[in-house]
Structure 1
Amino acid sequence: MTSGYGLTRQGFLGAALAAAVGGGAAAQGAELHRRPIPASGETLPVIGLGTWRGFDVGAKPAERGPLREVVATLLAKGGRVIDSSPMYGRAEGVTGDLVAEAGARERTFLATKVWTSGREAGIAQMKRSLQLLRTERLDLMQIHNLLDWRTHLPTLRAWKEEGRIRYLGISHYTESAYDAVEAVLKAERLDFLQINYALDDRAAEERLLPLAAEKGVAVLVNRPFGGGGLLRRLAKTPLPDYAAEIGCTSWAEILLKYVVSHPAVTCAIPGTADPGHMAANLRAGMGALPDDSLRRRMAAALPG
């Protein structure tokens, strides 16, 4: 029996679990772990790039230079996923410019969102995203915060049939909306869910991540570093003894390894405008990942 469509549920979970415990070159730290998109079997690297705030810049070389290095670092280490949105100011246009300058469209998996009400307004916004991202076809279009989703979903299905987008999905970041997200996941045939999930924000573990695996829906994780300045608080805390077990040299790597070690997670998309941080984020997607036992220890021992 298939989970939604594409891979069987057993096949998907088996492939994801194999990636989570490591194997082959990735287990040796040479490559990014990859996870299958259940709808197709296509695999994605487990670490990508979010563009909120960091990519909302002008055209000055001093503003674009670091971001050019961020994108180059992502691609050089085997990353592909870049997520943006019309709500992120100038981020879509900046992303499109940098990917085009690098001649890297075929090596990137570009995702963005529709966040408006009304069919025609949604179509206009999505056409604008295509222009700004400088592509004729997007890899993923997501209905953000479920805004007018019943209106937009038929449009997304039509665009997928026409080849304008490859995958479709929904996104949300508010725990109070999880019941609504769950209802849509149960009722509709989707390719992707984007949701917040972190070591200090594990509500998605209760129902949404298991449901996504059951329904054959890939998961992008935003806010993998948690909320409320978690990284800043942890910066003054010594690394735990288990850090060496999974090859981590920073709290950022620890937090990301926790997220991507969940077998239902396809890719985490932390935002950054710093090439050094991009490199560190990518290291978290390589080598050993926490097993179930270590994940429980990590959650129990998280400093307050």
Structure 2
Amino acid sequence: MTDAGPLATRSIPATGEVMPMVGLGTWQAFHVSRGTEWDEARQGLQAFADGGGRLVDSSPMYGPAEGVVGDIAAELRLRPRLFLATKVWTTGREAGVAQMEASFRKLRTEVIDLMQVHNLVDLETHLATLADWKSRGRVRYVGATHYTESAYPGLEAAMRRHRLDFVQVNASVAEREAERRILPLAQERGMAVIVNRPFAGGDVFARVRRLPLPGWAAEIGCTSWAQVLLKYVLAHPAVTCAIPGTRNPRHIADNLGAARGPLPDAAQRARILEAVQAA
């Protein structure tokens, strides 16, 4: 979808670089091998880039996903259009270096845009390595991630202790604690925020997708429940980008639509919350 207008963007606080507000997650969705699913992933990544998307998030935890992204991006010559984010997920300096070097090879890139410490595993060790790599231009940004509320104390401590460029955290209409704790702290500390689980792992979407789209969805430019749920998340000013995970080209194009048109105000967000809770 290239004729629907540009995507809305937010600035990365550390540099002012702008980022389209809807990205692409690869957990499970890009855990594919050659065949029909690979072809769908290929079409999906092309649709994402053609629709104006940039941030693609992966991890060595996601099976072959990094390699799938890297191979398809190389084949379609998409690398210059993408902002590649991945993670380090192991303990020990040498193991971390080896895993990150493997990510460079799998993603087929000399520079990784964002390297994140996955689930805070051996955070101090990996951040020391990444500070050096960032100074040498091997990675452009550094961050830390988690996906569950029980980890927020550790994430908050990391955010206060380190000058992270990005944090990645779960947030959705069904998982709202990050709005109270993590997002304000990110604003205070000048950190970009990537939202994972914007559909609460699909649970919320499964509840509402069978319902007719409310008439008021048009007020915020939404033509699908996916867009309504994403706009609920994107409306918070601390959120830089949300990363729904899919390889389906039609779903990707629909998700990107959440970065077009007006975002809900406080009253409209309350209406979304009420509709989901009643579903």
CA distance in 1, matches of 2:15, 2:213: 39
AA aligned to 2:31 is: D
Q: 1:213 aligns with which of 187, 191, 203?
A: 187
Q: 1:124 aligns with which of 80, 91, 98?
A: 98
Q: 2:132 aligns with which of 147, 158, 178?
A: 158
Tell me the number of residue pairs that the alignment of Structure 1 and Structure 2 aligns.
275
AA aligned to 1:220 is: I
CA distance in 1, matches of 2:30, 2:201: 20
Which whole-Å deviations, capped at 9, do the CAs of 1:42-62 have from their partners, x for residues lacking one?
Answer: 0000011011111111123x2
Q: 1:293 aligns with which of 250, 260, 267?
A: 267
Structure 1 residue runs of 5 or longer lacking an equivalent are: 1-28
Over aligned residue pairs, what C-alpha RMSD do you find? 1.2
> With structure 1 as the length reference, what TM-score do the two structures score?
0.88
AA aligned to 1:160 is: K
Q: 1:48 aligns with which of 12, 23, 44?
A: 23
Matches for 1:7-26 after TM superposition, within 5 Å: none
CA distance in 2, matches of 1:44, 1:73: 17
Structure 2 residue runs of 5 or longer lacking an equivalent are: none
Asked if the contact 1:30/1:287 (under 8 Å) is kept, the reply is no
Asked if the contact 2:221/2:260 (under 8 Å) is kept, the reply is no
CA distance in 2, matches of 1:249, 1:169: 33
Q: 1:105 aligns with which of 79, 89, 99?
A: 79
Q: 1:59 aligned to 2:34?
A: yes
CA distance in 2, matches of 1:46, 1:214: 20
AA aligned to 1:261 is: A
Instruction: Name whichever structure is richer in helix by fraction.
Output: 2
What corresponds to 1:25 in structure 2? none
The structural deviation recorded for 1:238 is 2.3
SS in 2 for 1:145: helix
Q: 2:243 aligns with which of 269, 283, 286?
A: 269
Q: 1:247 aligned to 2:213?
A: no
CA distance in 2, matches of 1:228, 1:169: 25
Stretch deviating more after TM superposition (181-190 or 288-297): 288-297
SS in 1 for 2:259: coil
Stretch deviating more after TM superposition (241-250 or 65-74): 241-250
Asked if the contact 1:85/1:91 (under 8 Å) is kept, the reply is yes
CA distance in 2, matches of 1:297, 1:218: 27
What corresponds to 1:87 in structure 2? 61
AA aligned to 1:34 is: T
SS in 2 for 1:87: helix
AA aligned to 1:149 is: L
CA distance in 2, matches of 1:97, 1:186: 37
What corresponds to 1:15 in structure 2? none
Q: 1:147 aligns with which of 105, 121, 133?
A: 121
Q: 1:180 aligned to 2:146?
A: no
Moved over 6 A (4+): none
What corresponds to 2:163 in structure 1? 189
The structural deviation recorded for 1:228 is 6.2
The share of aligned pairs that are identical, in percent, is 56
> With structure 2 as the length reference, what TM-score do the two structures score?
0.96
Which whole-Å deviations, capped at 9, do the CAs of 1:163-217 have from their partners, x for residues lacking one?
Answer: 1100000000011110111111111100000001001111100110011011110
Asked if the contact 1:32/1:286 (under 8 Å) is kept, the reply is yes
CA distance in 2, matches of 1:262, 1:271: 20
Which whole-Å deviations, capped at 9, do the CAs of 1:237-295 have from their partners, x for residues lacking one?
Answer: 22233211112121111001111111100001101021000010001111111012211
CA distance in 2, matches of 1:289, 1:30: 16
Q: 1:38 aligned to 2:43?
A: no
